[in-house]
Amino acid sequence: MMPKKPLILVTNDDGISAPGIRALIAVMQELGDVVVVAPDSPQSAMGHAITINSTLHLNKISSEEATVTEYSCSGTPADCVKMAVNEILKQKPDLCVSGVNHGSNSSINVIYSGTMSAAVEAGIEGIPAIGFSLLDYNWDADFESAKPFIKKIATQVLKNGLPDGTVLNVNLPKLKTHEIKGIKICRQAKALWEEKFDKRVTPFGKEYYWLTGEFVNLDKGTDTDEWALANDYVSIVPVQFDLTAHHAIQTLNTWEF
């Protein structure tokens, strides 16, 4: 009897037609049976938003050329995972992969990332999950160089699983495969966005704003995702979704409530 192929859920935040998710689907087809549930339009920087005040729509995509089962969803990346687990799949997938995102999700960007919110939602459901991002914001980015590393990392997660309460945040440098030095397990760099609002006025006199800003890395460590990426490595940061600041509990217990 042939061994059963793993079931792999693929999603993203750039939308189901984004080149990044097409590249991810191609790699996952080499590893297992693939089901895709992704937003029907871009949902970048949505964080862990879910849809509760309006309806959700799910559409199965039919195509003669289709080699995987695909659904587009009107909701957020987290909605897509919820819909997949509760409405589409008859069993819990062996792996959920999100991406490949067009642009970085390193350091503090993980907080805002729709890509990582989908991976975290899968992790909450007890599914091993990985978010993949390429440091290239171009819609026509070349994902070919990233594919061998995506396959290697996904294979290891399928083989070994992940620690409870943990998902992986993987960022890939914008380099050719032979230029990438390897893979590093990292911590999230301490960094922030110094944000500004570009204030403008419409021809009718109404004020409006564009959010702008500069990413500032405050971390000089050589064990961070930012250092790894700047030095031509793929970064892997294990991310936990228990947000409890355990180190603060003892201090707070000394307060007089």
> What's the whole-number average pLDDT of the chain?
92
| pLDDT for the residue 213 | 79
Kindly report the CA angle at 22 between 137 and 135, in degrees rounded to 5? 25
- Inside any domain, residue 136: yes
Is 198 part of any domain? no
* Close Cβ partners of 109 (under 8 Å, ≥ 6 residues apart): none
Q: Is residue 166 part of a domain?
A: yes
Q: Is the pLDDT of residue 26 over 70?
A: yes
Domain count, the chain: 1
164-191 mean pLDDT: 96
Residue 211 lies in a domain: no
- Give the tens place of pLDDT for each residue, 218-247: 889 899 999 999 999 999 999 999 999 999
Q: Is residue 125 part of a domain?
A: yes
Q: What does residue 78 show for φ and ψ, rounded to 5 degrees?
A: -65, -40
Residue 70 covered by a domain: yes
Q: Do 183 and 151 contact (CB within 8 A), yes or no?
A: no
pTM of whole model > 0.75?
yes
The arithmetic mean of pLDDT across residues 111-139, rounded, is 96
Name the amino acid, one letter, at 90: K
Q: Which parts of the chain are beta strand (E)? A: 7-11, 33-39, 58-60, 69-73, 95-102, 129-134, 166-172, 182-185, 191-201, 207-217, 233-240
In a domain, 196, yes or no: no
Domain contains 116:
yes
User: Which CATH number belongs to the domain containing residue 247 in this structure?
Assistant: 3.40.1210.10
What is the domain range of residue 51?
7-190+221-252
